[in-house]
Amino acid sequence: MAELAEGRGRFLNQIINGAVYHCEMTSWAFSAHLWMQKQRGYFPDHDERIVEMGAGKVASLLAWIYYFLKPELDQINPLIAKRIRDEVEKRVLSPYMEIDNFWWMGFTELSGKVNNWNTWCNSYVLQCFLLLEDDSSRLAGAIYRIMDSLDCFINYAYDDGACEEGTFYWEYSAGRLYECLQLLHDCTGGAISVFDKPIIINLGEYIVRAYAGKGWTVNFSDATARDKINADLLFRYGKATQSKEMTGLANQLRKIGPNSNAIPDGDIYDIFQSLLHRKEFIADDTVCSPASSTWYPDSEICYMNGGDGFFVAAKGGHNGECHNHNDVGSIIVYSHSIPVFIDPGVGTYERKTFGKDRYSLWTMQSGYHNLPEINNFSQKDGAEYKASEVLFEPERMELSLDMAKAYPQEAKVNKWVRSCRMKNDSVVIRDSYSLAECMSPVRIRFMTWGSVVVPEPGVAVVSVGGEKVRMTYDKTAFSISIDPIHIDDPRLYNIWGGEIYRLSLVARSQSLSGSYTYVISRC
């Protein structure tokens, strides 16, 4: 960026060092993705090229270096630009055109679900072809192939626009899809343009509806509760789709974000596009008020805004979603945008996160979400463990669902209907149940990062971030315990600090059927 801005050659030696360094690497793929090799394992095979986001990111950066700086590089040594072009060709361009079974492409029956990998990888590959390919016939074939692959993502995505992977992945799924569509629009002079399609708009506006305010976002699935949204990207997406929701939130984020002269976030293409639209962005004055409620019927996610500063996120769905946590029926409660009863989120990615031991991690377990433990059983993972009889009534601001099927048969749950209703000054959660057998008293869990006091039986008061709320419950039905959970994972620590707390309402006795009510209100 400095060399392009200055154009005096001061940075060329280091650009060459970086480019040749990468050209000498055995693989550009992330080490965690080398399981895609035929040889498996995590040692890179120099005879096999893996196309994924790590390889794509390096390839696209080298392609931009080649595109802008080839004349200057050739003056130093013609072998440099030639090497860059050759390496991108053999590592990304040729494999992309010749191999159908990269699962994220969506071209084979074995692909199953496609996710953010599809749009993330395709955006890099499209950049490389547009910057490097001189053969118009091959370029047309590559663009058609990329469009075909992107169609697989659009066809798999929910029509309502919800991102089942969580808000953290919005930038890499919907955001990268937008970048692909913008590139296709620009390189065809607008002949390819689908920005007016409802699903494209819905995918973009998902992040707006999931924004709780003050930098906090709903963090179901593998997301962090305080995620940085790329405001420049959101603005461009909003302008392309004429969505005032997106441009309105982008403006709000810009005003609380860094200085307008700061270098934008993102990869090199993202930075170029952000700088190109920066003046327009700064001049934009769109304002958009949050929706009173949002219901995603495909993913069964619900958001409700209350009149007394409460915002609630609740979900049904199933426990086989991409980046799933076992959290069917869980509820997150915010007070004036500050999360009070929380979803802890996901820790730093490690080997267990994406393997057979995923649900040995406490952050993935229903026992560490705002959910019941029934007959000593937590929810199970798998698409068959799901919500049923899900109903959202916007006029009542109420979501209800039966989460009995989210628990294993051994839990002996016939029915467990949870409802969450937003009133003007409170959030009312009600559990109505029917059990086939009583083996152990139920435990109702609530997670928080605030300080908790129990001033009297039946009342728990949570204070955090200047907010103070009380949760009332039936003192004759429950005793309460408060257990600290030490946090040392950096990704969680940076959000919650060194400790969060698990409130457990423990039933004093257990019957085969009954109901419980918990009311959250302001102190």
Per-residue pLDDT tens digits for 22-80: 999 999 999 989 999 998 888 999 999 999 999 999 999 999 999 999 999 999 999 99
Encode pLDDT of 172-181 as tens digits.
Answer: 999 999 999 9
- For the residues 216-229, what does the mean pLDDT come to? 94
The torsion of the CA quartet 510, 513, 517, 518, rounded to 10 degrees, works out to 40
Q: Count CB neighbours of 396 within 10 A.
A: 12
Nearest to 313 by CA among 170, 206, 161, 202: 206
How many Cβ atoms are within 10 Å of 492's Cβ, its own excluded? 22
Q: Does 261 have pLDDT greater than 80?
A: no
In one-letter notation, the amino acid at residue 507 is A
**Per-residue buried b or exposed e for 100-109, using 16+ beta carbons within 10 Å of the residue's own CB:** eebbbbbbee
Q: What band does 260 get if pLDDT is binned at 50, 70 and 90?
A: low
CA distance 483 to 481: 6
Q: Which of 10-19, 38-47, 94-103, 256-265 has the lowest mean pLDDT?
A: 256-265
Question: CB within 8 A of 121, min separation 6: which ones?
Answer: 51, 52, 53, 56, 102, 104
pLDDT over 80 at 262, yes or no: no
Region 83-111: mean pLDDT is 92
Tokens (6 digits) for 350: 């490690």
Does the pLDDT value for residue 466 go beyond 80? yes
Residue 343: per-residue pLDDT: 98
Backbone angles phi, psi at 290, to 5 degrees: -65, 150
Which residue, among 344, 82, 86, 100, has the nearest Cα to 222 in the 3D structure?
A: 344
Residue (of 418, 516, 211, 173) closest to 334 by Cα position: 211
Phi, psi at 505, each rounded to 5°: -90, 110
Which pLDDT does position 108 carry in this prediction?
84
What does the pLDDT look like over 487-520, one tens digit per residue?
999 999 999 999 999 999 999 998 999 999 999 9
Mean pLDDT across the stretch 428-448? Answer: 97
What is the C-alpha to C-alpha distance for residues 124 and 257, in angstroms, rounded to an integer? Answer: 27
Complete DSSP assignment for 299-325 = TTEEEEE-TTSEEEEEE--EETSTT--
Instruction: Tell me the two tokens of residue 370.
Output: 């705002």
130, 185 Cβ separation under 8 angstroms: no
The angle subtended at Cα 73 by Cα 72 and Cα 77, nearest 5°, is: 125
Question: Kindly report the CA angle at 521 between 447 and 312, in degrees rounded to 5?
Answer: 55
Residue type, 50: I
Note every long-range contact of 68-74, with CB atoms under 8 Å and residues 24 or more positions apart, other chains counting. Answer: 68/4, 69/3, 69/12, 69/15, 72/9, 72/12, 73/12, 73/16
Is the pLDDT score of 279 beyond 90?
yes
Gyration radius (Cα) of the chain, Å: 25
Higher pLDDT, 112 or 276: 276
Given pLDDT bands bounded at 50, 70 and 90, which one contains residue 112?
Answer: low
Two tokens, residue 485: 């959970």
Q: What is the pLDDT of residue 87?
A: 98
Percent above pLDDT 70 for the chain:
98
SS3 444: strand
The answer to whether residue 111 scores a pLDDT higher than 60 is: no
SS3 422: strand
* Pairing mode of beta strands 426-435, 398-402: unpaired
Helix (H, G, I), strand (E, B) or coil at 50: coil
What is the pLDDT confidence band of residue 147, given thresholds at 50, 70 and 90? very high
pLDDT of residue 58: 98
Q: What is the mean pLDDT of the chain?
A: 95
Nearest to 346 by CA among 456, 239, 227: 227
How far apart are the C-alpha atoms of 338 and 225, rounded to whole Å? 10
The candidate with the shortest Cα–Cα distance to 204, out of 242, 251, 259, is 242
Question: Do 372 and 444 form a contact (C-beta atoms < 8 A)?
Answer: yes
What digits encode the pLDDT tens for the residues 386-427?
Answer: 999 999 999 999 999 999 999 999 999 999 999 999 998 899
pTM (predicted TM-score): 0.95
- Residue 226 CA, chain-centre distance (Å), reads 12
Higher pLDDT: 227 or 66? It is 66
Give the pLDDT mean for 235-264.
Answer: 89
Cα 443 to its chain centre, rounded Å, is: 29
Give residue 110's pLDDT. 59
Total residue count of the chain as it appears in this document: 523
Residue-level pLDDT at 478 = 98
Share of the chain above pLDDT 90, in %: 91
d(C-alpha 470, C-alpha 310), whole Å: 13
Determine the pLDDT at residue 259: 67
Alpha carbons within 13 angstroms on the beta-carbon side of residue 389 total 11
